[in-house]
A and B are shown apart, each in its own frame.
Chain A
Amino acid sequence: MSKGIVIFAQNNEYINYAEQACACAGYARKNLSLFDEICLITNTETLEPDETLINEYFDRVIVSDSFQPDNVRLFKDTSDKLTYAPFKNMGRSDVYELSPYDETLVIDADYFIMNNVLDQVWDSDNDVMINCKYRDVSGRHKENIEYIDNFSIPMYWATVVYFKKSDFAENLFTLVSHIKYNYKYYYYLYNCSGNLFRNDFAFSMALHILNGSVAFDVPSLPIEYLNNSFDLDDIYRVNSHNDIIMYCADAERVTNHLLSRFTNMDIHIMNKKAIGRFVDDFLSNGEKV
């Protein structure tokens, strides 16, 4: 059974996702050991300017120039810098077809693996594993579970998804793709909040439909919680391949920040600009092919 980690990257004018994906791959390679390859799925426009760097961090690159409809989102770099830019996140549903591996661990380019717990996904009995429970590193979001809306279904985080080639996984990705192309309908059906197309929402809806549109449990990843640092946080310092100090936005006043150190624990850093500022540190602490 081949085992691969897949990362997506498509640059926009605001963020260089290619170099972030390289940083992310470097951390995955340094901290995990039971996979065969790390693969980047990207488009020609993203690949060309950073091809040398990409080849240093990825075993395989798959180019997919599929059409990406406009999906503009607000990017925050702490609370004082806000920018609207295109968010090219619609390729995720194609990963079932594109992944060359029997078992695939898909991770977002802003998810930094800093321990080896995710090595436990390989050879799982489950066809799909995805997390519903999360923790906010700043403690602003107190609940463990977020909902698509207060009166809707629980949200599953598509940040890290494991799947193996199977009927269940194939059907799941078919549904995610269907939801993507008919998003407006499902957006109203599930009473979504916000206008942005989110993979988290599409996966949650697809899982709900696939499980018979009733209350359901989807196997979670070996990690108990997805450890989220939201975009109001910032990075203070990158110490090593498993040690980062963050500025965490204070729950009571988000313009104030508290320092917190993360060692030996994965972290999903949503402030993309912050990753960009420290990308050289991330790259030097990660491991190349």
Chain B
Amino acid sequence: MADTAEEIKIESSEEDLQRLEKALNFSNTMKTFNLNKNNLKVKTQNLLSYSTAGGSFTVNQSLISFMNFVVSSGKTEISLLDKNDIPIHIDDTEKFLDEVSSLYFEVVNDYYNEYQKLRSSRKIEKVLEI
């Protein structure tokens, strides 16, 4: 009984060591992956800003949907709350919608490409081009 237990212990410790090493290496990769992913997210949030007529707007799906509704309703000018809750007069809603949509597609598409690049490689030095 004692022999078997010792045998199992020796066998599992070698295996465990290898598995642990693999897991820890993967954990390091994941840490770097998560850090870079978070930084990409923050970059995207900072880039999704559009300023006009003295106001600044956070560009997101809600703003685009709302503006789409405004344009579809035939309103050519409106007052809109900006990111600081200041009312801003938009005198060409179609142009505004066009510009915020373009910005959104461009920035999120860049985010997508960079994210794909990040997740497709386990070698961080390859992703960062070191």
Which residues of A pack against B, CB within 8 Å?
A: 115, 117, 120-121, 123-126, 135, 137-139, 217, 219-225, 227, 236-237, 245, 248, 250, 258-266
Q: Does B124 contact A (CB under 8 A)?
A: yes
Which residues of B pack against A, CB within 8 Å?
A: 31-32, 34-36, 38-39, 42-43, 45-51, 53-56, 58, 83-86, 88, 110, 114, 124-125, 127-130
Q: Can you name 17 A-B pairs with beta carbons within 8 Å?
A: A123-B54, A125-B54, A126-B54, A135-B42, A137-B39, A138-B35, A223-B49, A224-B42, A227-B43, A236-B130, A237-B130, A245-B130, A250-B31, A259-B130, A260-B39, A261-B127, A261-B129
User: Closest approach, in angstroms, between the C-beta of A125 and any C-beta of chain B?
Assistant: 3
In the complex, what distance in Å separates the CA atom of A224 from the CA atom of B31? 24
In the complex, what distance in Å separates the CA atom of A115 from the CA atom of B36? 18
**Residue in contact with A220 in the complex, picked from B42, B83, B130, CB distance below 8 Å:** B83
**Residues of chain B within 8 A of A265, CB atoms compared:** 39, 42-43, 46-47
Nearest 8 A/B pairs, CB to CB: A125-B54, A120-B51, A265-B43, A219-B84, A222-B49, A224-B45, A222-B56, A223-B46
**Residues of chain A within 8 A of B85, CB atoms compared:** 217
In the complex, what distance in Å separates the CA atom of A48 from the CA atom of B33? 46
In the complex, what distance in Å separates the CA atom of A260 from the CA atom of B39? 8
Contact in complex: B128, A259 (CB < 8 Å): yes
Tell me whether chain A's interface is mostly helix, strand or loop, or mixed: loop
In the complex, what distance in Å separates the CA atom of A42 from the CA atom of B100? 40
In the complex, what distance in Å separates the CA atom of A137 from the CA atom of B57? 24
Known contacts: A125-B86, A260-B35. The answer to whether A120 contacts B42 by CB under 8 A is: no
**Residues of chain A within 8 A of B129, CB atoms compared:** 261
User: Closest approach, in angstroms, between the C-beta of B40 and any C-beta of chain A?
Assistant: 9
**Residues of chain B within 8 A of A121, CB atoms compared:** 51
User: Closest approach, in angstroms, between the C-beta of B39 and any C-beta of chain A?
Assistant: 5
**Residues of chain A within 8 A of B35, CB atoms compared:** 138-139, 248, 258, 260
In the complex, what distance in Å separates the CA atom of A220 from the CA atom of B50? 13
Contact in complex: B36, A120 (CB < 8 Å): no
Q: Which B residue sits closest to A265, measured CB to CB?
A: B43
